[in-house]
A and B are shown apart, each in its own frame.
Chain A
Amino acid sequence: MVVSLLARALMMSTPLLLGSISEVIAERSGMMVTAIEGIFLMGAWGGFVGAYLTGSSFAGILLAMVCGLLMAGVYGFITIHLRQHQVVTGTALNILAAGLCTYLQRVLFGVPVSPLKISPLPKLAIPLLGDIPVIGEIFFRQNILTYLVYLIIPLSYFLLFKTSIGLTIRSTGENPEAVDVAGISVNKVRFLTVLAAGIMGGLAGAFYSVGYLGMFTSGMIGGRGWIAFAICFLGNWNPKGAVIGTLAFGFTEALAIYMQTVGGGSYFPNELFIALPYILTIVLTVARRNFNVPAQLGTPYSKEN
């Protein structure tokens, strides 16, 4: 029971981790990706459409990344090149994404009599590792996206802190002028990190449709993009912190689902569990104060001023 709960917690953590690491990378360069909710949603939609039309989950995942990339491209263009407000632009894009995917869903599939289904990604047990009692059941009987995240955690850490690209990204968030003077285009760095965040965010969205539920509804993201956004803050702009933060959220989410299924509602209202991740975010935002926020987060860079 506990094992399956933990396995589920880990699974539910996958998209949040992808999203929050994508946000870490972009924010380290000074860009808040406030369109993350919309990127998740478009990813979920793209993943579903790709998988449904071709019958291949892989094609779905690919289309999800393309959708995320496009959303991020528009977001980056408006906020970086046109220097418009990040929060405002993100909100507009999130509204647009909600309308766009519902509308396009209708264009493509009309009003189906019964909900359209695809088969979710299978759980792959890794030989040997998957047979280890408890550990194997929790960690090594997951779907391919979760395994992908296992790789992305160390890779993103290595990229940010051990390579020249990471140094450039981090410097851009701290003092873009230094990067400019060093002969690197600030806007280019920021645009590329946002695009990377878009691809990862699209992938995270695909987890919900292709990886988990095998269907698409316009409400399926329901603020989880924002939770990934919050985890980035709470994880102190570090992939390691994001891991810890995400596991906490994945756990509450799995717990909520578990309580609903076993009828824990007789003691506590279900809504409490649904609200728990959000309450947790507020509490942690208040409790965590030694932030190492990138100095120039959210500020557009313009040298001729």
Chain B
Amino acid sequence: MQVPFFEIQGVSKYFAKVIANKDISFSIQKGEVLALLGENGAGKSTIMKILYGLYRADEGKILMDGKEVKITCPKDAMKLGISMIQQHFSLVPAHTVTENIILGNVKGRIDHKKCHEDMKKLADTYGFDVPVDAKVSELDVGVQQKVEILKALYLNARLLIMDEPTAVLTPQESETLMQFVKSYTEKGNSVVFITHKLKEVMEVADRIIVMRNGRVSGNLKKEDTNETELSRLMIGKDLVQPEKDSGPMGDKAKVCLKVEGLTIEKKGEAPLLRDISFNIREGEIFGIAGVSGNGQEELCEAITGSLKPTAGHISLNGEDITGLTVRERIGKGIGYVPVDRHRDGMVMPMTVAENMMLKESFGSKWANHGFIDKKKLNACTQKAIEDYQIKAPGPDARAGGLSGGNQQKVILAREVSVGSELLILNQPTRGLDLGAINNIHTVVLEERKAGKSILLVSTELSEIFEMCDRIAVMYKGSFMGIYRSEELNTEKIGLLMAGYAQEKEAAGNE
């Protein structure tokens, strides 16, 4: 066997609260696509950030072509030909594509014109359609990713590390990316592909490193393994999928939420929402698929009341709620699990109990004459901790100290209790491990059984297909159509997500 391009030997990394990596060893060969598979928090990104010099290892060493190298900062890594594309792109949104690419790679006075031309040439060489003088904030995420790749190519990277690169892409965009990866490695370069998606691994990787709890739990060739084995190595046990029945009442159930012609439009800008109409019956899960950023969040917030629509109506159980405030809608029984729990869902420095009362701090549910009823609040929180199997020391534990999955369970517990009629879930399982996802799916299906109406936004197609009774696909603020889940498959939904209307729909829509 040839000397590996890069070799990681016995690397450990401790963070303040967790062991991120423990005794990690593996190698990266020239010309191969290496997949780094594992759940969120398994330590995949950390080990790669160490290789790229963003973090410093507490123990262990790194070899290149069989010789030990010291990588203490990204500059060192770049000199060795390593580039890394972070999961959340590290681009400066207010600057142009060119400025982003040359950042840190030019000296002295900048000749903007010449730089633009160089970048254009670079983009053309690789067949990337990127407007080099546009501001990054004006670009779609797919294009932003190309900018990140261009940054690496500009530095003549020979090892490209990509952290969850397909998370923000449509199936078709992912396909293009895979083709790039193949042609890039054919030239003798190497790619490390960090992901938690099994399907992707089987599609693109030559070799697979599986990580669990900061350690390597498997190092396999693609030919020698299958999805079941990988899943077991990744999770450490077999998971039982929650069962979904046919639903309590089906088409005859009463309509709970009715949305008619909902539009949000600022003058001179593309509409955030365009003429959205649908309804959700009791005991129904209505799914919204689409690449994130196509109006899903705006739709959720228009229904919860924090965004005002410019046209259209929303009614709940026959009552028009379009003019009601957020607080009034909470009172009507609308629960909402937002996509970004750090920003919109929780107050991290507060306790779990305090977070449980966030939606209902007015009124007498948790208070006597303005004074908080601590006893009642703690008792209810304790019950939620038990019912939802939340791993927390107690009601007075700081919410920010819980793991992501447990934080999400706290929010879900609160919203299930608030949302007696309608539950809106915006990517409720994003970034969680499979165990927590399983838990949350079970709860959602139970609520469906109890007759609640559920709006589920997700970018994970598997989740959409598994959970939903009906599916709408969103693209640039519009519905591309509403389908029963049996009517769609991955390819069809992928086209809809990219904005290609189905032929049978096209006539009706245009």
Contact = CB atoms under 8 A, between A and B. Distances in A.
Interface of A: 162-164, 167-168, 170-171, 174-175, 177-185, 292, 295, 303-304
B104 A163 contact: no
B109 A171 contact: no
A178 B100 contact: yes
B55 A164 contact: no
A170 B74 contact: no
B75 interface: yes
Nearest to A172: B92
9 contacts: A171-B92, A174-B92, A174-B94, A179-B103, A181-B54, A182-B105, A183-B74, A183-B75, A184-B103
B95 A170 contact: yes
B95 A183 contact: no
B13 to A, nearest CB: 9
Contacts of A292: 94
Count chain B CB atoms within 10 A of each CB in A163, A168, A171, A183 and give the residue with the most: A183
Interface in B52-102: 52-55, 73-78, 84, 86, 88, 90-95, 99-100, 102
Interface residues of B, number: 31
A171 B54 CA distance: 17
**List of 8 A-B pairs having minimum Cβ-Cβ separation, nearest first:** A182-B104, A183-B75, A183-B74, A178-B90, A181-B90, A164-B106, A174-B92, A177-B90
Given A171-B92, A183-B74, A183-B75, A178 B110 contact: no
A167 B96 CA distance: 11
B15 interface: yes
B108 interface: yes
B369 interface: no
B107 interface: yes
Contact of B110 (A167, A177, A303): A167
Nearest to B77: A183
Contact of A175 (B15, B55, B91): B91
B54 A295 contact: no
Contacts of A304: 15, 55
Interface of B: 15, 52-55, 73-78, 84, 86, 88, 90-95, 99-100, 102-110
Contacts of B102: 164, 167
Name B's interface SS: loop
B314 to A, nearest CB: 31
Contacts of B107: 164
Contacts of A178: 90-92, 100, 103
A168 B102 CA distance: 10
Contacts of B76: 183
A303 B15 CA distance: 11
A266 B367 CA distance: 59
Nearest to A161: B110
B103 A162 contact: no
Nearest to B109: A163
Given A179-B104, A303-B55, 15 more contacts: A162-B110, A163-B110, A164-B108, A170-B95, A171-B95, A174-B92, A175-B91, A177-B88, A178-B91, A180-B74, A182-B90, A183-B78, A183-B104, A185-B73, A292-B94
Contacts of A295: 93-94
B84 A175 contact: no
B103 A182 contact: yes
Count chain A CB atoms within 10 A of each CB in B52, B88, B90, B91 and give the residue with the most: B90
Contacts of A182: 74, 90, 103-105
A133 B329 CA distance: 71
Contacts of B109: 162-164
Contact of B90 (A162, A164, A167, A175): A175
B51 to A, nearest CB: 13
A164 B103 CA distance: 7
A175 B92 contact: yes
Contact of B54 (A162, A170, A303): A303
Contacts of A162: 109-110
A50 B15 CA distance: 49
Contacts of A171: 92, 95, 99, 103
A268 B248 CA distance: 79
A177 B86 contact: yes
